[in-house]
Amino acid sequence: MSLSIGFSTSVDSQAELAARARQLPTLLVVDDEKDITASLADLFRRDYHVLSAASADEALTILNKHDVSVIVSDQRMPGKTGSELLAEACLIDPDAVRILLTGYADIGAVVQAVNEGKIFFYLTKPWSSKEIQAVVAKAVEHNFLLRDNRRLVEELRQINAELEERVTDRTAQLNQRATDLETALSQVKKLEGIIPICMYCKKIRNDEEAWQNMEHYISEHSDAEFSHGICPVCFEKNFGKQGQRING
């Protein structure tokens, strides 16, 4: 692997370049001809962090270690071809946009790269500098959109997960409140509506058309409890003056 600088620099300038490189999109150039990788590296070094590889295996190693935005690979290389490389690269990092450099006679390789490597674009040799610069710029923009979309999808997934958790918690709270309310209601007995009562003996007619003692009826239909005493009128009526002397 090599990083093209293009000219000799001081230590401070190298540090500045390294810091700048970390902020730039990373371009991986793959070709077994060093003159071509050097030429492309010099062409793109001002706008991109350029990495180069002389073989498909070396490129895959780089791809596993670095966050690559765009891969530009030649088709004809010893060992694995460019289309084979891009097919494997697609599995390692689907967002790394893939460009194939090929000759007119390699149309079959282009078809393979499209089908298996999902290439973004292919250029036939010889290409012009302006042409490849325009294609790479579009590829970088496409990579940014892919990664931004993936980031937004992940954020949305997290928001949905948090929302689902909140809904679950709130549902559990409401279910508990409903359970508590049902329990409370089951313990509440109340008398309501019209109660048929005998005007003489004061017995109450229940739902089964039977006449019940008032105390018995109220006990069945409420949680009321009774304590017994004698009102003054009943006391005088039942005990008269003798009762008053006893009471006194």
Instruction: Write the pLDDT tens digit of every residue in 46-103.
Output: 899 999 999 999 999 999 999 999 999 998 888 888 889 998 999 999 999 999 988 7
Domain ranges of the chain: 2-150, 186-248
Would the pTM count as exceeding 0.85? no
Q: How confident is the model at residue 244 (pLDDT cuts 50, 70, 90)?
A: low
Domain 2-150 of CATH type 3.40.1500.10: no
C-alpha 191/C-alpha 140 separation (Å) is 78
- pLDDT of 242 over the 90 cut: no
CA nearest to 22, candidates 67, 60, 56, 78: 67
- pLDDT of 19 over the 70 cut: no
C-alpha 74/C-alpha 66 separation (Å) is 20
Instruction: Write the pLDDT tens digit of every residue in 33-49.
Output: 999 999 999 999 889 99
* Chain center to CA of 135: 33
Predicted pLDDT of residue 206: 81
Tokens of 97: 């946009």
Residue 222, Cβ neighbours under 10 Å: how many? 12
* Average pLDDT score over residue span 182-206: 75
Instruction: Write the pLDDT tens digit of every residue in 183-193.
Output: 776 665 666 66
Of the listed ranges 31-35, 174-178, 189-193, 203-207, the least confidently predicted one is 189-193
C-alpha 132/C-alpha 101 separation (Å) is 10
CA distances from 168 to 11, 48, 176 (A): 58, 47, 12
Q: How confident is the model at residue 29 (pLDDT cuts 50, 70, 90)?
A: very high
C-alpha 119/C-alpha 71 separation (Å) is 10
